[in-house]
Amino acid sequence: MKIRDYQLEAKEKTLQYFYEHRNIGDNPLVVMPTGTGKSVVIAYTVKEILEKWGNQRIMVITHVQELVEQNFKKFKQLWPYAPAGVYSAGLNKKETFAPITFASIGSVAKKAHLFKHIDLILVDEAHLISLEDTVMYQKFFAAIRIANPFMRIVGYTATDWRTGQGKLTEQYMKRNGTVVEPLFTGYAINLSTPECFS
């Protein structure tokens, strides 16, 4: 599986972000237009992280089984013998043994105890994550942080905007005046402008 120049840049900028931003709460956002191969970037990023730091436990999470399956197949195409499993009720798979797990948030939201120590979570379609504490993503992140407070998150999305919240990298004010800090603190890369592909 070949990687295009802009996909390689997205992978490299993600790793660079972690080198340059070492604080616990620094989580990068990767913005790539629909159809530009987020699953390829995710695959290459996960492979390189596990090859360089073999003791990492990684999860790739999204909201629908079709994307779980797509991301997993793309990853196995790149690395056929990768130590990876799938946890998705819709795909009838509940594998927890591997260092890398591809999962649907609906299936793992209340199952954080099965995964124990997770170092990195990559979220496909990250603009769907609400900042409200009561949603599945936030509950899952909070449960994982109990076992590993140093856990980091990378968000992949075609848009850095969430309706009713605003930019994913900016503070959000609730109706009661409470200010909520963003989950994603900066951009690893933003390829949403046309000149990025010219």
pLDDT digits (tens, 9 = 90+) for 162-181: 888 889 999 988 888 888 89
Place of tokens 């769907």: 128
Count the residues in the chain: 198
pTM: 0.94
pLDDT in tens, 5-40: 999 999 999 999 999 998 888 999 999 999 999 999
Q: Which phi and psi angles does 110 have, rounded to 5°?
A: -105, 20
Q: Which two tokens stand for residue 91?
A: 């795909």
